[in-house]
Amino acid sequence: MITAERISIALLAAAAALTLTLLGVALAHADDLGFMGEAIFDRIDTNHDGVISADEAEAARGRMFDKIDADHDGVVTAAEFEAAKDNAEKRRARRISTLAGLRAQMPSPSERVAELDQNHDGKVTRDEFLAGRSWFDLIAKSGGGISKEEFANFLDGAR
């Protein structure tokens, strides 16, 4: 007899397999993914030794389960999987929109060189580049640093 518990276990197993498959693909192409691939890897590699251990992978799966289990009853339903998927898609769309908006506001390359080129020689040195306004200045309201929550809020469009 198929019970709700068996269905939940099967759904969880399927989600875990899909997640690991997608994670494997993402990590295999980390160079292609750049920042995103590195961010995923770093989030899972909790001791930051450059290797994801079986324990770290299991802990990441546990954190994922906890996020999906919206009512925190220790079981995940199809509705919770669907809600988690919908929430992730909405969050991704907001972040893509935010980044696209920022990109649209960026000055052209020639405008950026003119803005950063302090000695007006048509070139930007490393020092000139670092002295210019950065993304940190856009996000750090207090100037003291940026928390993960503040960074996530920024990407979600809450400036």
Residues 117, 42, single domain; the answer is: no
Residues 90, 143, single domain; the answer is: no
Q: How many CB atoms lie within 10 A of CB 35?
A: 8
Kindly state whether residue 22 falls inside one of the protein's structural domains.
Answer: yes
Residues 74, 146, single domain; the answer is: no
How many independent structural domains does the chain possess?
Answer: 2
Residues 88, 111, single domain; the answer is: no
Residues 92, 111, single domain; the answer is: no
Instruction: Please state, in angstroms and rounded to a whole number, the distance separating the CA atoms of residues 159 and 142.
Output: 13
Per-residue pLDDT tens for 2-39? 555 555 554 444 444 445 445 554 445 445 557 777 88
Structural domain including 136 reads 107-159
Residues 83, 25, single domain; the answer is: yes
Kindly state whether residue 102 falls inside one of the protein's structural domains.
Answer: no
Residues 121, 69, single domain; the answer is: no
Confidence of residue 153 (pLDDT cuts 50, 70, 90): confident
Q: How many CB atoms lie within 10 A of CB 150?
A: 15
Look up the pTM and report it: 0.51
Residues 113, 57, single domain; the answer is: no
Per-residue pLDDT tens for 89-146? 998 898 888 888 888 888 889 998 999 999 999 999 999 999 988 878 778 877 678 8
Residues 8, 33, single domain; the answer is: yes
Residues 87, 146, single domain; the answer is: no
Instruction: Please state, in angstroms and rounded to a whole number, the distance separating the CA atoms of residues 127 and 118.
Output: 10
Instruction: Please state, in angstroms and rounded to a whole number, the distance separating the CA atoms of residues 113 and 143.
Output: 25
Q: Which residues does 54 contact at the CB level (< 8 Å), separation at least 6?
A: none
